Amino acid sequence: MVNRRRSRRLAAFKTVVYVVLGLFFLLPIAAMVEFATRGVGISSPRSLTAFTSIGSDPELVDAITASLELAAITSVGMLALLLPTMIWIRLRVPQMVRPVELVCLTPLTIPAIVLVVGFAPIYNWIEINVSDSILMLAFAYLILVLPYCYRALDAGLSAVDLRTLSEAARSLGASWGTVIWRIIVPNMSSAVSNACLLCVAVVLGEFTVANLLNFENLQVAISILGTGNARDSIALAVLSLVFVFFFLLVLSFLGRALSRRRGGAAKA
Amino acid sequence: MTAVPVTKAAYVRRPLGGRLRVSTAWLGAAPFLVYTGLFLFLPTVLVAVGAFSGPHGPTLANLAQLSQPYVVSAFLNSLVLSAVSASIGAVVGAVLAYTVASGSPDGILRRLVTAFCGVLSQFGGVTLAFAFIATIGTEGFIVIWLQQHGITFYPNGVWLFSLTGLTLIYTYFEIPLMVIVFMPALDGIRPQWREATETLGGGTWHYWRHVAGPLLMPAFLGAWLLLFANAFSAYATAAALLDIGGIIVPLQISRALSSEVGLDQANFAAALALGMVVIVAIITVLYARLQRRSARWLPR
Amino acid sequence: MKGSAARATCLGLALTVVGTLAACGGSSDSSWSTATSAASNGGMSALITAAKAEGQLNVIALPLNWANYGTIIKDFSAKYGIKVNQANPQGSSQDEVNAVNSEKGTSKAPDVLDIGMAVAWANTSLFAPYEVSEWSDIPADQKDAGGLWYQDYGGYMSIGYDSSKYTVTSMADLLTPAFKSAVALNGDPTEANAALNGVMLASLANGGSVSNIGPGVSFFKQLNAAGNFVPVTATAATIDNGTTPVVFDWDYLNSASVVNLPSWKVFVPSNAILGGYYAQAITKTAPHPAAARLWEEYLYSAAGQNLWLQGGARPVEMTAMQANGTLNQTYAAALPAVSGSPVTLDQSQASSAASYLASNWSAAVGS
């Protein structure tokens, strides 16, 4: 009886939350679509011409490809850099946990426009001596995603009994690689997938650093196209949101497929 | 191989083993330290050097400018704006995250909401400002619709074009960010805890106040800190919405870096940025204290 | 002269070779990076050949709807087969100069700049001297004697408004209750040139002068107190959607809004005619020096100048073109009518206006 009443209250609560917040988040986007579909002049009919303007620029395809590649490189790099380090310091060097946390928060405390001032000389060196491909942005993006991904991974790690799991695995002869990838990660799969999701979202939505370093990524390309016409720029912004949304959705299904195949440990 | 805190005594007793253990432990974090050293520490140092530079060599003049009243009020505005939007974002985001996490973990609703939050957490700038203007600005479609039904949305001035409005706009990306970073913590809640509480006679309130709440508090505080820093350094949205001078620190920085009317002072921008880093560092220290207290009985 | 020119060419050759080794893209004829005119280095045909060989041009901070740059870029690209790389479309003049410094030596550094006068005066050390073929058609007071910068187009500060909702016959109209939450600027006056000149226009119309922007700030303070000032930066989107139905902006930028909003009109007060020109410059360290110089030749040819005219801006060679009949009369007739003698801010006036704004703007409109 108590459970049924509780579940009914919970269901009502959930509905209210979804409706209220759904309205809050969808109304501004609806306003953007409403604006972008207006015709020119007061009583012109609505049209989708603003949305088709996206086909007019071949550079946009290059920009999209570059951004997707950057998203992939940054996600992999972030996991490779952050996950082993976070697990390691929690287990072996606990006094480093807080300093690393502060370090991971620093990229967010400095506005991007200032960070670029610091990046510029480094990138100048990279572009002259290594490569001036847009993929070099991955170095900066790895830093930019640190705050978000650290927090997402940390929330997951805090729910896992690291010490017990790793000791048990090590005592059974597992290497550190096995411990990380086959024991710990499956127990924090939602944290890992959320961190990757944030990574991809940050990279696909990033504008300031790419813009000030004169690279043309997705958002910069949209910005250039958008200076031509108000309706076009808003339509492009909406399309960019929709594109990233569907991309993230597809990724989440991919993530589930991958973890199933690996036969990860069931969440206890 | 258990991690034994390496005390001086341990070192003296087994010098080689102790030393090796310490250096191996630190080495594990080396890739991270090297990478952040090169791509984060180095740019920050370059910025810090700029803060202390002047046209005639090293100087404290840029830092002295930080004590000007308009700079101090900009910092205060930034602090209030970030704290309020972070708090609203954290609470509302936690509620939404809980709502989503209590559903099916593989369900389509959860995937949709997570993807949606992922996109929106990074949505900002001129476009976000315009989205709000088009919704509840003076010609926003909601305002017009309400007007047609006899309701005036702005009886006392347009609050959207002020720090209040900016705070509301900031929550638009703070809430989704909270959902994404906090949900893994909620996923770690075991149903056994609820059952145990009920077996001992506790209700919903008891469960949240004494069991789940304290367990989630460290993750909640950490997420709040992230939201705070996120709002603190955001600037593009404010730049589009409020061209009334540098009322928050990032706008002051933008003016110092990009002003084309001769008011640019790149070194002052560096000093402002340094000020921002110091403030967030202070808040992080406070947060760490709070964390230690709230997590002291957790098995870490 | 010949000896030093040869020495300079050799130095330029060495530098360009080093630069070319690092830069990707077409090869560049080294002599163009120090050429001070087309004639001095083989004539227009040699310039065109060298530019085509380079194949690319890096421009920066050129919004497509700013003085018809969209058409200009497309036209130049089609005419010479040179790919125009755009960067930072919403950047300020200072951002352009910052990019020149931070991208120095890379293949993405800006080749040419279109900047406000304040920034031009302050950064002449970054520019390469060059005189276009039509150099004599540019008035003497609108170019640097040494060829470092040369003004390109300009206009008058104006008040654009949606005539289907408002009528503006004088600046005092804006203070009336009819204009509640209607009046906006194009940016922050402490940052953007257009916005600073907007406040200066208000000053001129209210008893101030080019040396005194105070009355302008008081005007906006009154505007804000009356609830008529909208702090949102006016963009094509906000004008379109009606949030900023009255905008202080350069007349050529205001004219561009007519495309999306046919009822948009542009008003220049008869008692306050404030002119402002922007300037072109070629960067010393341009990765594509021949393409940069060809771009300038193109912009200052009758074709280029008329394209700016089409965008509602007054090209710098307007007087000369009117005299020799190359001015497009249709476009000229579409310019807003202006009677009276215009004033322009010089270097010291601009900086004193900026300092005044830095101390007083936030207080005037901040609450």
Q: Is pLDDT at B1 greater than 50 in this prediction?
A: no
* A191 close to B (CB below 8 A): yes
- How far apart are the C-alpha atoms of C230 and C217, rounded to whole Å? 15
pLDDT recorded at residue B118: 92
CB contact under 8 A, C243 and B246: no
Question: Which is it for the CA torsion C91, C96, C101, C106, positive or negative?
Answer: positive
Evaluate whether residue A231 is within a structural domain: yes
Higher pLDDT, B158 or B176: B176
Domain ranges of chain C: 2-153+276-331, 155-274+335-365
Q: Is pLDDT at A73 greater than 70 in this prediction?
A: yes
Of B157, B245, B260, the CB nearest to C93: B260
Of A101, A143, A147, the CB nearest to B39: A143
- B-chain residues within 8 Å CB-CB of C365? 244-245
C201 phi, psi to nearest 5 deg:
-60, -45
CB count within 10 Å of CB B285 equals 12
Alpha-carbon gap: B161 to the closest alpha carbon of chain C (Å): 7
Residue B51 near residue B63 (C-beta atoms within 8 A): yes
CB contact under 8 A, A231 and C240: yes
- How far apart are the C-alpha atoms of C335 and C314, rounded to whole Å? 8
- B-chain residues within 8 Å CB-CB of C358? 263
Of C24, C260, C262, the CB nearest to A230: C260
* B283 close to A (CB below 8 A): no
Test mutation, B261, B264, B268, chain C, max C CBs within 10 A: B261
pLDDT recorded at residue C8: 45
Residues 122-151 of C with CB under 8 A from A: none
- The alpha carbon of residue A32 and the mean position of all alpha carbons in its chain are separated, in whole angstroms, by 23
Evaluate whether residue A149 is within a structural domain: yes
Domain ranges of chain B: 68-294
pLDDT range class, residue B22, cuts 50, 70, 90: low
- How far apart are the C-alpha atoms of C365 and C357, rounded to whole Å? 11
Q: Closest Cα to residue A211, out of C267, C320, B222, C60?
A: C60
- B-chain residues within 8 Å CB-CB of C361? 244-245
* Mean pLDDT of all residues belonging to chain C: 89
pLDDT range class, residue A265, cuts 50, 70, 90: very low
**Residue with token string 């803060």:** B51
- The alpha carbon of residue A192 and the mean position of all alpha carbons in its chain are separated, in whole angstroms, by 11
Render pLDDT for A123-150 as a digit per residue (tens, 0 to 9). 999 999 998 899 999 999 999 999 999 9
Higher pLDDT, A131 or A3: A131
CATH assignment of the domain containing A66 = 1.10.3720.10
Across the range A248-253, mean pLDDT stands at 87
pLDDT range class, residue A41, cuts 50, 70, 90: low
Render pLDDT for A48-59 as a digit per residue (tens, 0 to 9). 777 776 666 778
- How far apart are the C-alpha atoms of A243 and B271, rounded to whole Å? 39
Test mutation, C60, C64, C94, chain A, max A CBs within 10 A: C64
Across the range B260-270, mean pLDDT stands at 85
Of B240, B247, B260, the CB nearest to C191: B260
pLDDT range class, residue C300, cuts 50, 70, 90: very high
CB contact under 8 A, A117 and B46: yes
pLDDT range class, residue A44, cuts 50, 70, 90: low
- The CA radius of gyration of chain A, in Å to the nearest whole number, is 23
pLDDT recorded at residue C276: 92
CB count within 10 Å of CB C313 equals 28
Of B47, B111, B182, the CB nearest to A118: B47
Evaluate whether residue A46 is within a structural domain: no
Q: Is pLDDT at A178 greater than 90 in this prediction?
A: no
**Residue with token string 């919970």:** A10
Render pLDDT for C217-258 as a digit per residue (tens, 0 to 9). 999 999 999 999 999 999 888 998 899 999 999 999 998 888
Q: Is pLDDT at C12 greater than 80 in this prediction?
A: no
Quick one: tokens of A197? 């999701």
Evaluate whether residue A72 is within a structural domain: yes
Return the ∠ at Cα C340 (arms to C339 and C346), rounded to 5°: 125
- How far apart are the C-alpha atoms of A56 and A222, rounded to whole Å? 12
Q: What is the DSSP annotation of A23-85?
A: HHHHHHHHHHHHHHTPPSSTTPPP--HHHHGGGG-HHHHHHHHHHHHHHHHHHHHHHHHHHHH
* Mean pLDDT of all residues belonging to chain A: 86
Evaluate whether residue A238 is within a structural domain: yes
pLDDT recorded at residue C6: 47
Alpha-carbon gap: A60 to the closest alpha carbon of chain C (Å): 13
- The alpha carbon of residue A242 and the mean position of all alpha carbons in its chain are separated, in whole angstroms, by 15
Question: Does CATH number 3.40.50.720 belong to domain C155-274+335-365?
Answer: no
Higher pLDDT, C153 or C29: C153
Percent over 70 (pLDDT), chain C: 92
Render pLDDT for B33-88 as a digit per residue (tens, 0 to 9). 999 999 999 988 988 898 998 888 888 888 888 988 889 999 999 999 999 999 99
pLDDT range class, residue A260, cuts 50, 70, 90: low
CB count within 10 Å of CB B145 equals 11
Q: Minimal Cα distance from C181: which residue of B?
A: B138
Across the range C105-127, mean pLDDT stands at 93
Instruction: Tally the residues of chain C.
Output: 367
Return the ∠ at Cα C163 (arms to C162 and C167), rounded to 5°: 110
Q: Minimal Cα distance from C236: which residue of B?
A: B130
pLDDT recorded at residue C73: 96
What range does the domain containing A84 cover?
Answer: 57-262
- How far apart are the C-alpha atoms of A223 and A216, rounded to whole Å? 10
Alpha-carbon gap: B290 to the closest alpha carbon of chain A (Å): 12
Across the range C286-303, mean pLDDT stands at 95
Least-confidence region, from A227-236, B127-136, C110-119, C146-155? A227-236
pLDDT recorded at residue A224: 86
pLDDT range class, residue B5, cuts 50, 70, 90: low
Render pLDDT for B185-216 as a digit per residue (tens, 0 to 9). 888 888 888 888 889 888 888 888 888 888 88
pLDDT range class, residue C29, cuts 50, 70, 90: low
Alpha-carbon gap: A251 to the closest alpha carbon of chain C (Å): 31
How many domains, in total, are found in chain A? 1
- The alpha carbon of residue B236 and the mean position of all alpha carbons in its chain are separated, in whole angstroms, by 16
CATH of domain B68-294: 1.10.3720.10
pLDDT recorded at residue A117: 87
pLDDT recorded at residue B97: 94
- C-chain residues within 8 Å CB-CB of B264? 94
CB contact under 8 A, B257 and C235: no
Across the range C254-280, mean pLDDT stands at 90
pLDDT recorded at residue C250: 94
Test mutation, C20, C74, C96, C108, chain A, max A CBs within 10 A: C108
- How far apart are the C-alpha atoms of A118 and A116, rounded to whole Å? 5
- C-chain residues within 8 Å CB-CB of A231? 240, 260
- B-chain residues within 8 Å CB-CB of C233? 239-241, 243
Evaluate whether residue A9 is within a structural domain: no
CB contact under 8 A, B119 and A205: yes
Q: Is pLDDT at C31 greater than 90 in this prediction?
A: no
**Residue with token string 């805190």:** B5
CATH topology of domain C2-153+276-331: D-Maltodextrin-Binding Protein; domain 2 (3.40.190)
pLDDT range class, residue A242, cuts 50, 70, 90: very high
Residue B226 near residue A102 (C-beta atoms within 8 A): no
Across the range C132-148, mean pLDDT stands at 93
